Amino acid sequence: MPRFAANLTMLFTELPMQDRFAAAAHAGFTGVEILFPYDIAAKELARGAIAAGVEMVLLNCPPPNWAGGPRGFAAQPDQQERFRSDFDRALRFAQALRATHIHVMAGTAQGVEAHRVFVENLRWATERAPHASLTIEPLNPTDMPGYFLNDFDQAVEIIAEVGAANLGLQFDAYHAQMITGDVAATWQRVAAQVRHIQIAGCPGRHEPGCGVIDYPAFFALVEASGYRGWISAEYEPENHTEDGLDWLPRR
């Protein structure tokens, strides 16, 4: 059975960040992720995770914070210097938090030069942090217009081109359904590259129990593929987070 993590940027937002770790543990999650943790000192976050007994599974890189910033710039040709310094900051946070994965966000960009820069930045980052697991995640163009990485085949090609053992695919089932209309078939195509999974109901991006994705079937498929990583709940709760956790296995 895969392990389940709660995305603390989106779940338990009824509480201050420091209290979300314990709330996630109490609800039955054994891991947590925070999209952009950089507004809070890493030591403080690490204390919260340790006290609650949850593992830090993932953080995003760059940008520096969640409020109003762009969704990354690793594929933006004029931002390579900034990418490198912000990646180093993400690495320091990941080390302090003992985070399993760092999600490298491409940002809005298009064309051949963006592809070249993204590959170059990813090569640099995988060499800079040979012991870190880095991921890239296709985001659907309805929610994230103009985002460079918006297709699963494109992501698999980029991972192959970078050719680093510590770079893999972040498979968000919500985005997969939005992009391809068939999350199960997409999973079958790319499962070998997947390092991390995120889930939400589709459409709407609410609880995994609502919408067209059959999550019990998806979890069975994932398990049958031999996936042993995390599945992270990354959705906007319809109401109070605690009231919408019926989908979580083993509760």
Ligand X SMILES: O=C(O)C(=O)[C@H](O)CO
Residues serving a catalytic function are 137, 234
Nearer to ligand X, 145 or 163 (CB): 145
Can residue 234 be called a binding residue for ligand X (CB under 6 A)? yes
Q: Which of 29, 57, 60, 241 binds ligand X (CB under 6 A)?
A: 60
The total number of residues shown for the chain amounts to 251
Bond before 130 cis per omega within 30 degrees: no
**Cβ neighbours of residue 78 under 8 Å, at least 6 residues apart?**
none
**Helices (H), ranges, the chain:** 17-27, 42-52, 80-97, 112-128, 152-162, 173-180, 183-190, 215-224
Minimum distance, C-beta of residue 5 to ligand X, in the bound complex (Å): 12
Q: Which of 235, 202, 186, 217 is nearest to 10 (CA)?
A: 235
> In this structure, what token pair is assigned to residue 174?
């919500």
Number of residues this chain uses to bind ligand X (CB under 6 A) = 10
Q: For residue 169, which of 196, 208, 129 has the smallest C-alpha distance?
A: 196
Instruction: Considering the complex, state which of residue 41 and residue 212 has its C-beta at the smaller distance from Mg ion.
Output: 212
- Contact between 71 and ligand X (CB under 6 A)? yes
Residue 101 binds which entry of ligand X, Mg ion, none, CB below 5-8 Å type-dependent: none
Q: Which does 35 bind (CB under 5 to 8 A by kind): Mg ion, ligand X, none?
A: ligand X
Which has the closest alpha carbon to 172: 146, 145, 149, 199? Answer: 199
Q: Which does 197 bind (CB under 5 to 8 A by kind): Mg ion, ligand X, none?
A: none
Hey, which residues between 153 and 192 contact Mg ion (CB under 5 A)? 172
State the Cα–Cα distance between residues 98 and 203, nearest whole angstrom: 33
- Is 103 or 206 the residue whose CB approaches ligand X more closely? 103
- Report if residue 198 touches Mg ion, rule: CB under 5 A: yes
Q: How far apart are CB 246 and ligand X at their closest, in Å?
A: 22
Record the tokens describing residue 51, joined without a space. Answer: 């006290």
Binding at 180: pick from ligand X, Mg ion, none (beta carbon under 5-8 Å per type): none
Does 198 help bind ligand X (rule: CB under 6 A)? yes
Question: Residue 100 touches which of Mg ion, ligand X, none (CB < 5 to 8 A by kind)?
Answer: none
Minimum CB separation from ligand X for residue 232, in Å?
9
CB 114 within 8 A of CB 155: no
- CA torsion sign for 154, 222, 129, 73 is positive
User: Is there binding between residue 60 and Mg ion (CB under 5 A)?
Assistant: no
| Least distance to Mg ion, CB of residue 47, Å | 26
Judged by CB under 6 A, the chain residues 106 through 165 that form the site for ligand X are 137, 139
